Amino acid sequence: MARNLIDIVDFSVEEINELIAVAEDIIENPVKYQDACAHKQLATLFFEPSTRTRLSFESAMLSLGGSVLGFSSASSSSTAKGETVGDTVRTVGCYADIIAMRHPKEGAPIAAAQVCDIPIINAGDGGHCHPTQTLTDLLTIHREKGRLDNFTVGFCGDLKFGRTVHSLVNALSRYEGINFVFISPVELKLPRYVKEEALKKKGISYVQTTDLESVMPDLDILYMTRVQRERFFNEEDYLRLKDSYILNPEKLVNAKPDLSILHPLPRVNEITVDVDKDPRAAYWRQVACGKYIRMALILKLLGIEV
């Protein structure tokens, strides 16, 4: 059976730490890895829009000396003719060595893994989870802070539909001494199932608020997110909630001098462009981390040691 990455809990904390160590080594010694995946093929099957995730996967495989194939929208695949995800994935399993897939339906990558025996990576399934963004976030935090424990993390924005939040909360709940602060409109609170699984079962307490500025001085990390328009049932709710939080330099006046601001991107309005020049803005460095951690992940799932 191939090893897959469907949910971040598929990897132990030790395995996550190892991936981070490999990614750091790739950053330091890229040449050492440039032929590691020679003659291997990565298929990227994206049934939903993407810029960073798909292109960082492709860039990761190319930088490992491998090659890439795939599609970037459901409309350009046989999905448009009515083919099931299972049949599409089974087909690609005959051509490629590893698959990264994104799909609007929660659980689609699990269904895919059942019909194909090459490794499947979940690159985002609906409003459920996004484990490779979490690996990116953890590498970023490790590089910014030098550790993955003992800090206060604020998650702000659409915590209901934001799959990157669900996976990152799950991952961080397995490290010591993390204080969780959830900042969202009442309608976009973190889903109960995420709180139960990641926090309540482990006896981890958390703070929930609608007010970003009141908690700003406590935060070591601020994880901003976009309101997920495509997951709303009606446009009016989206329009009412979309600008709930707009981070600008004034709102950062009372923040810690060593705060790290993360965002999985794309941003819409939730961080103004003038925050980009603040040294605490880590989200463009985070984008770069996405490629290196995916290189480490591809090596791991293909069982290649360098």
Closest by Cα among 41, 5, 61 to 292: 61
| 143 carries an active-site annotation | no
**Nearest CB to ligand NCD, comparing residues 130 and 195:** 130
Q: How far apart are CA 107 and CA 111, in angstroms?
A: 7
Closest by Cα among 88, 25, 98, 103 to 66: 98
Q: Which two tokens stand for residue 280?
A: 């605490």
Smallest distance, ligand NCD to C-beta of residue 163, A:
5
Please give the single-letter amino acid code of residue 148. Answer: L
Is residue 128 a contact residue for ligand NCD (CB under 6 A)? Answer: no
Cβ pair 163, 48 in contact under 8 A: no
The interface region with ligand NCD, picked from 3-11, 57-65, 207-215, 261-269 by CB under 6 A, is 261-269
Buried b (16+ CB within 10 A) or exposed e, 189-220: bbbeebbebbbeeeebebeeeeebeebbeebb
List Cβ neighbours of 111 (8 Å cut-off, separation of 6 or more).
Answer: 85, 86
Is residue 251 a contact residue for ligand NCD (CB under 6 A)? Answer: no
Q: Which of residues 40-59 bind ligand NCD (CB under 6 A)?
A: 52-53
Place of tokens 């990264």: 100
- Of positions 103, 128, 160, 163, contacts ligand NCD by CB under 6 A: 163
Is residue 127 a contact residue for ligand NCD (CB under 6 A)? Answer: no
| 166 carries an active-site annotation | no
Smallest distance, ligand NCD to C-beta of residue 94, A:
28
Q: How far apart are CA 269 and CA 11, in angstroms?
A: 34
- Of positions 124, 126, 131, 154, contacts ligand NCD by CB under 6 A: 124
| 285 carries an active-site annotation | no
Is residue 173 a contact residue for ligand NCD (CB under 6 A)? Answer: no
Please tell me whether residue 19 adopts helix, strand or coil conformation: helix
Using CB under 6 A as the binding criterion, the count of chain residues that bind ligand NCD stands at 11
Is residue 70 a contact residue for ligand NCD (CB under 6 A)? Answer: no
Smallest distance, ligand NCD to C-beta of residue 164, A:
5
Smallest distance, ligand NCD to C-beta of residue 90, A:
25
Is residue 265 a contact residue for ligand NCD (CB under 6 A)? Answer: yes
| 128 carries an active-site annotation | no
The interface region with ligand NCD, picked from 13-21, 139-147, 169-177, 259-267 by CB under 6 A, is 259-267
The interface region with ligand NCD, picked from 1-9, 140-148, 260-268, 297-305 by CB under 6 A, is 260-268
Binding mask 199-238 for ligand NCD (x = CB under 6 A): ---------------------------x------------
- Other Cβ atoms closer than 10 A to 51: 11
What does each C-alpha distance from 223 to 169, 208, 218, 287 come to in angstroms?
Answer: 11, 14, 13, 14
- Other Cβ atoms closer than 10 A to 74: 18
Is residue 131 a contact residue for ligand NCD (CB under 6 A)? Answer: no
Is residue 264 a contact residue for ligand NCD (CB under 6 A)? Answer: yes
Rg (CA), the chain: 19
Closest by Cα among 301, 24, 16, 297 to 172: 16
| 164 carries an active-site annotation | no
Long-range contacts made by residues 233-240, C-beta under 8 angstroms, separation at least 24?
A: 237/187
Q: Catalytic residue positions?
A: 52-53, 81, 102, 130
Residues making contact with ligand NCD (CB under 6 A) = 52-53, 124, 130, 133, 163-164, 226, 264-266
